[in-house]
């Protein structure tokens, strides 16, 4: 752990070189409030090693980081009875809205359908035959043989 990048804003947060409001920290992850507070309690969980995105994780790092998520999520939920649910998001790549290239997981508490946070899933099922779905699945499945 702890291979940090001099110029990375989240590595600076790990080193406390810039102010941050920590909600949980151990030897593997740091969890701190997102500056924008999409909803109250919006938290980022970051590995304490500079890894740009999910594509760069190995299995050990993934196990270590993701194993922390449920207890942090539970603590956030328990902190306010008004929290009814939570969106957990991980953006990878600029096209997927990633803006900080030190991997992070958003924990976004949800208070109501009108709490200001939204996501849109498009239903394109009418454009997909079973054959088209199978072709896509096969193309992905074949990649595992390269491992
Ligand atoms: P992304 O868009 O990459 O998924 O999320 C990056 C998040 O980092 C954004 O939600 C943004 O508000 C947050 N962020 C960027 N800079 C800082 C900072 O200096 N401090 C904190 N606490 N959050 C930050
Ligand atoms: Zn970093």
pLDDT in tens, 68-103: 999 999 999 999 999 999 999 999 999 999 999 999
Greatest alpha-carbon pair distance for the chain in Å reads 53
- Per the DSSP assignment, residues forming a β-bridge with 89 are 106
Structure tokens at 54: 């999910």
Residue 13's closest CA among 27, 30, 26?
Answer: 30
Whether residue 10 has its Cβ less than 6 Å from ligand 1? no
DSSP state at residue 57: -
- Report domain extents, the chain: 9-122
- Exposure string over 14-27, b if 16+ CB within 10 A, otherwise e: beeeeebeebeeee
pLDDT bin (cut points 50, 70, 90) of residue 1 is: low
> Which atom of ligand 1 lies closest to the CA of 100?
3
Whether residue 34 has its Cβ less than 6 Å from ligand 1? yes
Q: What is the pLDDT of residue 147?
A: 62
Q: Residues 65, 29: contact at Cβ < 8 Å? A: yes
77 CA → ligand 2 middle, Å: 27
Rounded percentage of the chain residues whose pLDDT exceeds 70: 98
145 CA → ligand 2 middle, Å: 31
Q: Does residue 104 have an active-site annotation?
A: yes
41 CA → ligand 1 middle, Å: 13
The CATH superfamily holding the domain 9-122 is HIT-like (3.30.428.10)
Q: What is the pLDDT of residue 145?
A: 86
Q: What is the pLDDT of residue 146?
A: 64
Predicted TM-score (pTM) of the model is: 0.96
Whether residue 136 has its Cβ less than 6 Å from ligand 1? no
Q: Residues 87, 108: contact at Cβ < 8 Å? A: yes
pLDDT in tens, 12-69: 999 999 999 999 999 999 999 999 999 999 999 999 999 999 999 999 999 999 999 9
Residue 90's closest CA among 115, 133, 55?
Answer: 55
């Amino acid at each position: 752990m702890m291979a940090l990048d001099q110029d990375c804003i989240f590595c600076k947060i790990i080193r406390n070189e810039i102010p941050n409001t920590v909600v949980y920290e151990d030897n593997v992850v740091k969890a701190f409030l997102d500056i924008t507070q999409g909803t109250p309690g919006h938290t980022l969980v970051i590995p304490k090693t500079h890894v740009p995105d999910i594509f760069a994780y190995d299995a050990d790092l993934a196990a270590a980081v993701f194993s922390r998520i449920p207890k942090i999520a539970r603590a956030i939920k328990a902190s306010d009875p008004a929290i009814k649910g939570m969106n957990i998001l991980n953006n990878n790549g600029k096209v997927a809205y990633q803006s900080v290239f030190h991997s992070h997981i958003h924990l976004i508490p949800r208070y109501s359908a009108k709490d200001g946070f939204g996501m849109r899933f498009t239903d394109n099922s009418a454009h997909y035959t079973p054959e088209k779905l199978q072709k896509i699945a096969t193309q992905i499945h074949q990649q595992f043989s390269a491992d």
